[in-house]
Amino acid sequence: MSEKNPKIRTGPAESAAADQGRQPAVKAPAGEGGWTTVVSAKRPLIDFNFGEIWRYRDLVYLLVRRDFIATYKQTILGPLWFLIQPLFSTIVFTIIFGQVAKLPTDNIPPFLFYMCGLVAWGYFADCLNKSASTFTGNANIFSKVYFPRLTVPIANAITNLATFGIQFALFLVVLGWFIWKGAPIHINYRVVILPLLILQMALLGIGFGCIVSSLTTRYRDLSMLFGFFVQLWMYASCVLFPLSLYPESVRWLLVLNPMVPVIETFRFAFLGAGTVEIPQLLAGAAVSLVIFVAGIMIFRRTERTFCDTI
Amino acid sequence: MSSVLQVAGLGKRYRLGVISRGMLYKDVQSWWARVRGLEDPNSQVSHQPKTDDTTGESFWAFRDVSFSVNPGEIVGIIGRNGAGKSTLLKVISQITAPSRGEFRLRGKLASLLEVGTGFHGELTGRENIYLNGAILGMSRAEVTKEFDRIVEFAEVGKFIDTPVKRYSSGMYVRLAFSVAAHLQPDILIVDEVLAVGDAAFQKKCLGRMDEAAFQEGRTILFVSHNMASVRELCTRVIMMKSGRVEADGEPGETIDRYLDQSTLDWDGGGRSGSGRLRVTSVQLLNAAGGRVTELPVGEACRILIGYENRGLTPGDEVTVGLSLHSASTDIFCNYSHFSGRTFANLGERGCFEFSWPSVDVVPGHYTLGVRVFANGDQHTGERLDTPPPVILPVVPSDFHGNGDRALTNFGVILVRGQWSVRGV
């Protein structure tokens, strides 16, 4: 069809294109196989686009920057809320579970015990919640412009690191104060595992969040259940009671929850008490990885036609 | 020369009824009913044989679309509302996946389906330029290289470090388009976004697109209802009709062909009346007598109402009328007998012509109702035909003659007036 077209001014177009500093992709041989993008109705089952996301790394950076600025510009109290929130929860849990219910805390001062768990859980829950609203929260922009959709949950996980950093610093201050007061805390070399724990929480949060996000595009009523579910998940993740509280016979069940070893290890590293077994830790990491991969597969499937369903 | 975009047998199907269920419990309900061998309580109509191809009702937004585009071409895509143009561009922009066929492209593609996508009010103009550039696929280094030109083109100057929530709508649009205009993609997709902004800026944008194509060899796909700018800008025009490519070729010829058959779209709904005379088409002519598909505010126009005589006798006196409605209110009606005209001795086919001296309504989409009566007016006569209403788009123009096309959307009508002041 295009051959019929008489009005293309070829000369200057070609020479200008050659002069300009164009994208490498375009400079690539323009032979019959030189297509940069092929989009087909047929779709492979496993279709990751990590290369593309890497090309869009500047977008990830700018999304992180945007969320960061948007959060901090609006209120003076902005960063302060991040401190008030875990402090307040910790106080409530200390009173209810420590003072009233008198649940054991592996001989750690209850305040420290709860705060440690809540700070770690907070990062995971943030990643999970933000990822879970990827599609519904960005429907407007997703239906107007293409970019790799996964950049959004990835950017969220990075932005959440800032919140986590603030809360973690607060935790360290509280920890220091307790050590200075002579509390029986044994912070130990295992803290070096912290980056890995954060990575695992990010992968699990993004993966599970992507699954939820994909499902909620189809079933809006799931988002109601989801908030409740996250709450329950926290109770089942040893944030409020140590793994040692459970009888040996049921502990294997909790290992299915990859957040249990994460929280226990986190506490073991910083407070020196907890139940950590290497096989559990590895199993948790493996489960997280599987959920992450599954999440991305479902996410990739959903993003193709998501705009048709909103 | 090898093409930059090749579209082969592309189609997009939408399913109706299946997706809109949207509730988990209903899916569970359907599943439970099937398990027990009962009829699905949520199915649309009784039993339809379920095959791979027909799960629920579906329709093709477009199908079997094939074409290829060479570097440097500016391809206009025209067609009526619902012809599938915008969906086609959405698929090529990778916003949604095709249901059939495939397309290949060489180089980088950027689409501009709406300006300012991803702008964030809290961020400054500078930060938004970078963010918007990144969303559209530019790297930070590329944005930095073009930064000064973007700011200059957008004419926002010293406000570049002000949060965009404080921008006027004109500045906002200019900044957004400016980023897109300097994207340097190999293929740029533009959908109707030029309807915003003032006349001077529109001209600048068209000029920029022209330059991008002819001097830099970029390819542009351009959807518009504005035939004047399509004619001016494009080197080739693809006309779509009911989801298929109807014509593909030289702009002048294709646009003329489109306008020749362009009647306004019936807005659904049935007809009523005896049917001895039927309204077959409604067409618009601009002040110069050219066929158009939308009316600019403040200009004269003519509305042609085509008819087919199906049993009127020469003695029947026909009164024709039309009425204009917005979404919220009725605006006016005008019958031929208001100005003393009724029509007798109608031939087999022909058209009534309504001359509208000045379209003074606020820009937007209106519906136009047409009625035809015989031997009396709308109260006493025989109702011959009331076709379904048609959609009448009214677009902004320089109504007040001050170069500003951003007209108010306050109220219903626009009024030209003069102001003065006098001391007491």
* Coil, helix or strand at residue B365: strand
Largest CA distance in chain A: 87
The Cα-based distances of B159 to A175, B149, B197 in angstroms read 47, 15, 18
Residues 6 or more apart in contact with residue B58 via CB below 8 angstroms: B13, B14, B15, B16
The 8-class DSSP code of residue B357 comes to S
CATH 3.40.50.300 fits B63-260, yes or no: yes
How many angstroms away from the CA of B29 is the closest CA of chain A? 13
Pairing state between β B244-249 and B236-241: antiparallel
* Coil, helix or strand at residue B398: coil
What is the rounded distance in angstroms from the CA atom of residue B101 to the CA atom of residue B109?
19
pLDDT digits (tens, 9 = 90+) for A237-284: 888 888 887 777 777 777 778 898 899 888 888 888 777 778 888 888
Residues 6 or more apart in contact with residue B246 via CB below 8 angstroms: B79, B239, B240
Q: Where are the domains of chain A?
A: 48-309
The 8-class DSSP code of residue B39 comes to P
pLDDT digits (tens, 9 = 90+) for A195-209: 999 999 999 999 999
> Computed from CA positions of residues B102, B107, A142, B78, in that sequence, does the dihedral angle turn out positive or negative?
negative
Residue of B nearest to A221 (CA): B23
Evaluate if residue A1 carries a pLDDT over 60. Answer: no
Contact A260, A285 (CB under 8 A): no
What is the rounded distance in angstroms from the CA atom of residue B93 to the CA atom of residue A37?
11
Query: Does B135 contact chain A (CB < 8 Å)?
Result: yes
Evaluate if residue A8 carries a pLDDT over 50. Answer: no
Q: Where are the domains of chain B?
A: 18-55, 63-260, 277-395
Query: Does A226 contact chain B (CB < 8 Å)?
Result: no
* Coil, helix or strand at residue A145: coil
Model pLDDT, residue B198: 64
Query: Does B68 contact chain A (CB < 8 Å)?
Result: yes
Contact A60, A155 (CB under 8 A): yes
**B277-395: CATH number:** 2.70.50.60
Q: Do B117 and A145 touch (CB under 8 A)?
A: yes
Q: Do B217 and A14 touch (CB under 8 A)?
A: yes
Burial class of residue A29 in the structure, from the number of CB atoms within 10 Å of its CB (0-12 exposed, 13-18 middle, 19+ buried): exposed
pLDDT digits (tens, 9 = 90+) for A122-164: 999 999 999 998 888 888 888 888 888 999 999 999 999 988 9
Rg (CA), chain A: 24
Task: Quote the pTM value.
Answer: 0.73
**Which of A54, A57, A145 is the best mutation test for B, with the most CBs of B within 10 A?**
A145
Residues 6 or more apart in contact with residue B281 via CB below 8 angstroms: B263, B304, B305, B306, B351
Model pLDDT, residue B320: 94
How many angstroms away from the CA of A195 is the closest CA of chain B? 28
Evaluate if residue A25 carries a pLDDT over 50. Answer: no
Residue type, B292: V
> Computed from CA positions of residues B354, B355, B360, B364, in that sequence, does the dihedral angle turn out positive or negative?
positive
pLDDT digits (tens, 9 = 90+) for A169-191: 999 999 999 888 887 777 788 88
- HSE toward the beta carbon, residue B225, CA cutoff 13 A: 18
Contact A213, A299 (CB under 8 A): yes
What is the rounded distance in angstroms from the CA atom of residue B27 to the CA atom of residue A212?
17
Mean pLDDT of B12-35: 66
At B40, the pLDDT band (50, 70, 90 cuts) reads low
Query: Does B269 contact chain A (CB < 8 Å)?
Result: no
pLDDT digits (tens, 9 = 90+) for A37-57: 888 887 776 777 888 888 889
Q: Looking at this predicted complex, what is its ipTM? A: 0.74
pLDDT digits (tens, 9 = 90+) for A224-250: 888 899 989 998 888 888 888 777 777
From the CB of residue A31, how many other CB atoms can be counted at a distance below 10 Å? 8
Model pLDDT, residue B16: 63
